């Protein structure tokens, strides 16, 4: 599945004195952390950043130098968050099969959690990252009297990204406009309202939304503690391709030219073959488009981090 990412970075940042997405955290503008995370994922072919119209030049100055291998756009947002998401989705091309929507004020998102959310998406089934609620939740009336205590074992705190197929997300947003429905609190709620199954995928408590100045201090501390892979290391991904049996040889040839090592070919599924291979993350740039060209629009691939390995000389050349 070829993915597009929409980063919602609209808002005036009244608590911070300037647009929050431009506030520096751990040496980068806040929105840059999400941009860097998604731009490094070969599964994501297109990236749209939605922001305030008056700061588009500043956001473009952050985005364009950081994104080298992904189609990227910066577009103005709408009156409500839901409007901004819809405009971001509309800016993605028709070739995108899966869409994830992320808040630019969540700078600590990590690729492993994004991939976990991607893996469960299929037509009619969407997903969101979330964490179990650890506090006991009370419902109170207008006078402050507790009227109900909720069972926290069933409660989850929603995060982003939230994920769906492009068809499902576009339909859910179009239906909301067509029927004049009140704005939903998030995209998962829109998808629920449209009748889709929405699955919870457990995320990380670090993936919190920066809302208050104290959140900024916490985010700064956590981001500075992270040890990024150095120039001498690169990600090696375990890639699973689900393809028509007639396209297996073509897909194997494509993986070979991308320095992939085929681990297994599973021909036992009805109507499809699973090809599993290990490949350097950088070598998989554009692989989704090639997979569709070789194996048709129904072919999909998933990936997750296998390990870090010494970067080869050819990978260093690709990087620079």
8-state DSSP, 122: B
Domain boundary among 173, 195, 225: 225
Same domain, 174 and 239: no
Neighbouring residues of 42: CB distance < 8 A, sequence distance ≥ 6:
69, 237, 281, 282, 284, 285, 286, 287, 288, 303
Same domain, 60 and 201: yes
Same domain, 221 and 243: no
Same domain, 47 and 180: yes
What is the pLDDT at residue 231?
59
Distance CA 250, CA 278 (A): 17
| pLDDT tens digit at each of 320 positions of the chain | 899 999 999 877 667 777 889 999 999 999 999 999 999 999 999 999 999 999 999 999 999 999 988 999 999 999 999 999 999 999 999 999 999 999 999 999 999 999 999 999 999 999 999 999 999 999 999 999 999 999 999 999 999 999 999 999 999 999 999 999 889 989 999 999 999 999 999 999 999 999 988 999 999 999 999 866 555 688 899 999 999 999 999 999 999 999 999 999 999 988 899 999 999 998 998 898 899 899 998 888 888 888 888 876 554 444 44
What is the pLDDT at residue 316?
43
Same domain, 199 and 312: no
Same domain, 64 and 127: yes
Whole-prediction pTM: 0.88
Domain boundary among 197, 225, 253: 225
CATH number at residue 170: 3.90.550.10
Give the 3-state secondary structure of residue 129.
strand
Report the domain count for the chain. 2
Same domain, 200 and 239: no
The residue segments making up the domain with residue 132 are 3-225
Distance CA 6, CA 224 (A): 25
Same domain, 49 and 93: yes
CATH number at residue 297: 3.30.70.240
Burial class (CB within 10 angstroms; exposed 0-12, middle 13-18, buried 19+) of 25: buried
Same domain, 243 and 171: no
Per residue, the 3-state secondary structure of 197-260, as one string, reads EEEEEECCCCCCCCCCHHHHHHHHHHHHHCCCCCCCEEEEEEEEEEECHHHHHHHHHHHHHCCC
What is the pLDDT at residue 312?
65
What is the pLDDT at residue 319?
47
Same domain, 169 and 275: no
Contact 204, 11 (CB under 8 A): no
């Amino acid at each position: 599945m070829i993915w597009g990412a929409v980063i919602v970075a609209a808002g005036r940042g009244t608590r911070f004195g300037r647009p929050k997405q431009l506030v520096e955290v751990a040496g980068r503008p806040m929105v840059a952390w999400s941009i860097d995370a998604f731009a490094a994922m070969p599964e994501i072919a297109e990236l749209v950043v939605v922001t305030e119209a008056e700061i588009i030049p500043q956001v473009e100055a952050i985005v364009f130098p950081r994104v080298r291998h992904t189609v990227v756009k910066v577009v103005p947002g709408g009156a409500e968050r839901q409007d901004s998401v819809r405009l971001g989705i509309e800016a993605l091309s028709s070739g995108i099969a899966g869409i994830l929507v992320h808040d630019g004020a969540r700078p600590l998102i990590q690729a492993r959690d994004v991939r976990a959310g991607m893996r469960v998406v299929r037509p009619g089934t969407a997903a969101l990252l979330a964490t179990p609620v650890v506090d006991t939740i009370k419902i109170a009336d207008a006078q402050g009297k507790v009227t109900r205590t909720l069972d926290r074992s069933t409660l989850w705190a929603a995060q982003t990204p939230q994920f769906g197929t492009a068809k499902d997300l576009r339909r859910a947003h179009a239906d909301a406009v067509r029927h004049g429905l009140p704005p939903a609190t998030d995209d998962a709620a829109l998808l629920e309202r449209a009748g889709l199954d929405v699955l919870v995928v457990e995320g990380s408590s670090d993936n919190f939304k920066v809302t208050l100045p104290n959140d900024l201090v916490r985010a700064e501390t956590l981001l500075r503690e992270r040890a990024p892979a150095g120039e001498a290391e690169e990600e090696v991904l375990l890639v699973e391709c689900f393809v028509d049996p007639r396209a297996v040889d073509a897909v194997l040839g494509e993986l070979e030219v991308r320095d992939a090592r085929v681990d297994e070919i599973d021909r036992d599924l009805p109507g499809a073959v699973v090809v599993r291979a290990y490949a350097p993350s950088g070598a998989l740039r554009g692989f989704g488009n090639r997979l569709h060209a070789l194996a048709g629009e129904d072919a999909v691939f998933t990936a997750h981090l296998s390990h870090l390995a010494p970067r080869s000389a050819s990978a260093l050349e690709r990087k620079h």
